[in-house]
Each structure stands twice: as C-alpha cells, then as structure tokens.
Amino acid sequence: MTAAPSAGGPAGAAGAAADGAAGAGVLASDRADALAKAATLIEALPWLERFHGQTIVIKLGGNAMTDQALRVAFAQDVVFLRYVGLLPVVVHGGGPQISAQLDKLGMPVTFRAGLRVTTPEAMDVVRMVLTGQVNRDVVGLINQHGPFAVGMSGEDAQLLTASRAHATVDGELVDLGQVGQIDSVNPGAVAALLADGRIPVISSVACGAGGEIYNVNADTAAAALAVALGAAKLVVLTDVPGLYADWRGAAAPASGQVISELTAAELTALLPALSDGMIPKMEACLTAVSGGVPQAHVVDGRLPHVVLLEIFTDSGVGTMVVPGGQPPQAGGPG
C-alpha cells in the first residue's frame, strides 16, 4: 500500500504553486481594476476644480425621463454632482407623459414648429402632469439618496413670468394657445435653495402678468434660468447623440457624424435649416451662451450617466456651443 504524499511532497508543492499563481492572477486583476478606477477619478480632478461651487443647469428630457434605468442613473448623477461640490439645478418637461394623458382623455395633440399647441383644457392636463406627476417622480428618485431635491413649478415665487407666444409656419403667424415665451426670471427662490444645499427640480410651467398659466418649452426655460443664475454650464438631454453635421430637416441624418463644438455665430447660421425637434434645443443653447453662460451642451440622454461623462471626462460627449465666433463659410462646420 503506497503512502499518501505529504503536504510538502511534489503534489502538495504543485498544488501550492497553482494556488499561488491563481492568487497572483486575482491580485493582478484587482490591481488593474483599481488603477483604472483611480485613473478615471484623476481625469475628473481638473473638472472638479473648475466647476466646484458652480451652478450647472440640466434639462431633463427624452428617454431619460421615461426609461426607469436611465431615470435612476440620472438621479445618481445629480446627487453625485451635489456631493462633489457642484450646484445642480434640474429643469424638466414631460412631453411623452402629457401626450399619454391627453390621449387617455381623448384630447387631440398638435405640434407646430416643434411646440405643443395648448388649449385651456389641455393646459389643465399639462399643469397636472408636469407639476403633480413628473416633478414628484424626479424629486422622489433624487431623494432616495438623501434630503436634497425640492420640487418647484415656474409659477412658484414667480420664478418664470411669461406671455403668449406665437410661431411662424410657412410665413404665417400661428397661435399656439397657452404656450408662453419667457419674459423674466426671478431666481431668488432657486438661489436660496442652492445656498441651503438643496437640488431644485423645476417644472416648465410659467405664470402671466395677469395670472394666466402658460406651458413653456423646457429647453427654453432651462436656458433662461441658466442665464439668470449665472450658471457655468447648461446641459440639455435629448434622444440623439448631438447635432448631426448633415441633419438639415431630414427624417434622419445621412451619416452619423456629430458636430462636437460650434460657436454661437456658426449655430445661428445653421438654425433655419434644422429639424423642428432640434430647433428649440439648439435655440436654448444659443440663448444661454449669448446670455453669458460659458458652455451649453446637447447630449444623448439614452446613455447612462451621460451627465457625469460630459462634465468630468476630457473628451466630453454630444455637441458643445460656445460664445462668439464668425459665421461659417458655405457648407458650415463638419
């Protein structure tokens, strides 16, 4: 009968060596992961230094409002900004939710020049959905991480004052009903919340001088608020990667090329040829940078944690609009 090999024998040594190699492999893998995480954090350092204590206005829209995983990721992004010393302000619309509720009630939905035509009956639904449903949902997701978010409407403390807006379609002036154009912003209540360490979450409903209620485009509201607050950045979440270089009112771009950066002058030259859905977003960026905001961005809200990628990585994402510049030559940028 052959005796079993001792732990110190050849088989035991081989087993120990194998275990050691496996352990070394695990340790090497863990170390590589740790170094990658550290590199990501270090990459964020210049941007943390630059934007610490600065106000960042974020317009929440598109799939980021309707997809639950994206909604959760957005809330995490906003709380992250708050914890690292930035001052996030969220402005939201609620187009899909409004359309769904109007459809449920059998009320017609009409858009002209990219803006919803809002009858008095529809305005009641808009107000209810934006302030009573969507706003509460966003606030609740953020507050799962702490007592940060405070919901507001543009009506509160006369934050947004608006008057009746009109649009020009094919050379004709079109009545949009109770759609408002922003006349003034009173940001005192928002500034007070920021000073108290809160995250304001604002629905795009505004009041008129005579007590009227207006449906205001959320892109427009976010831009006006960014200017009034002296924000360092406006970030607009949408459902495309950015402004396509060859998307000129067509159903889809001819290629996937996205303009990474353009000046206010270049954007002004491009605006008339853009698709209806993109015009309010790019006009919002133009309004922001023309009003003193250093940067405005249109980013793909379908990408999880896109807000953090835009603010804290060297490459950034989407399309950035900056002040100034000269009008482009024929053909434009890209």
**Mind listing the pLDDT tens digit for each residue in 25-47?**
557 778 888 887 788 788 888 88
- Residue with more model confidence, 31 or 295: 295
DSSP letters spanning 135-180: HHHHHHHHGGGSS-EEEEETTGGG-EEEEEEEEEETTEEEEEEEEE
| pLDDT confidence of residue 208 | 95
| pLDDT confidence of residue 334 | 33
For residue 328, pLDDT over 70 is answered with no
| pLDDT confidence of residue 21 | 52
Distance of CA 19 to the CA centre of its chain: 49
- The residue written with tokens 């379609």 in the block is 169
**Mind listing the pLDDT tens digit for each residue in 119-157?**
999 999 999 999 999 999 999 999 999 999 999 999 999
The b/e string for 152-163 (b: 16+ C-beta within 10 A; e otherwise) is bbbbbeebbbbe
Q: What value does the mean pLDDT take over residues 165-181?
A: 83
With beta carbons less than 8 A apart as the criterion, state whether 116 and 98 touch.
yes
**Mind listing the pLDDT tens digit for each residue in 79-103?**
999 999 999 999 999 988 998 999 9
**Mind listing the pLDDT tens digit for each residue in 243-259?**
988 765 555 566 678 89
- Residue with more model confidence, 266 or 18: 266
For residue 69, pLDDT over 90 is answered with yes
- Residue with more model confidence, 299 or 39: 299
**Which H, E and C letters describe 299-332, residue by residue?**
EECCCCCHHHHHHHCCCCCCEEEECCCCCCCCCC
Nearest to 281 by CA among 291, 290, 271, 273: 271
For residue 317, pLDDT over 90 is answered with no
Q: What value does the mean pLDDT take over residues 282-304?
A: 95
Nearest to 262 by CA among 270, 254, 250: 270
Strand partners, 87: 55
Q: Predicted confidence band at 2 (pLDDT cuts at 50, 70, 90)?
A: very low
Q: What would you report as the CA-atom Rg of the chain, rounded to the nearest whole angstrom?
A: 25
Percentage with pLDDT > 70 across the chain: 85
For residue 330, pLDDT over 60 is answered with no
Q: What value does the mean pLDDT take over residues 299-308?
A: 94
Q: What value does the mean pLDDT take over residues 191-209?
A: 97
| pLDDT confidence of residue 123 | 94
Q: Predicted confidence band at 162 (pLDDT cuts at 50, 70, 90)?
A: very high
Distance of CA 143 to the CA centre of its chain: 18
Residues 6+ apart with CB under 8 A from 333: 245, 259, 262, 266, 270
The mean pLDDT value of the chain amounts to 86
| pLDDT confidence of residue 327 | 45
For residue 158, pLDDT over 70 is answered with yes
Q: What value does the mean pLDDT take over residues 58-77?
A: 93
DSSP state of 130: I
- Residue with more model confidence, 185 or 334: 185
With beta carbons less than 8 A apart as the criterion, state whether 81 and 88 touch.
yes
| pLDDT confidence of residue 232 | 97
| pLDDT confidence of residue 331 | 33
- The residue written with tokens 């187009």 in the block is 95
By mean pLDDT, which of 14-28, 52-66, 155-169, 196-210 is the weakest?
14-28
